[in-house]
Amino acid sequence: MTWRTNGAMGLETAVTLLASGLFMYSAWLTSIVFSAAHDDKPLLIAASMFPPVGVVHGVGVWLGGW
């Protein structure tokens, strides 16, 4: 069974990667804006320096956990 190809990336893969990137960027930006608006400087610094922290916090803001 061969699963590797030497051709171009498929449309499904490209759309999935683009959607994932936009999701993570939106969550990170939500975290930055939320932290700045609520004057939470330590979290703002952590979210801006370590994007995974911002992504997790941004999703938490969306779901109402924070």
Encode pLDDT of 5-46 as tens digits: 677 888 999 999 999 999 999 999 999 999 999 999 999 999
Q: Count structural domains, the chain.
A: 1
The verdict on residue 18 lying in a domain is: no
The verdict on residue 47 lying in a domain is: yes
The verdict on residue 39 lying in a domain is: yes
| pTM score, whole prediction | 0.83
The verdict on residue 6 lying in a domain is: no
The verdict on residue 2 lying in a domain is: no
The verdict on residue 13 lying in a domain is: no
7 DSSP assignment: S
Sorting pLDDT into bands at 50, 70 and 90, what band is 2?
A: low
For residue 59, the enclosing domain spans 26-66
The verdict on residue 19 lying in a domain is: no
Residue 66: CB partners within 8 Å, gap ≥ 6? Answer: 34, 57, 60
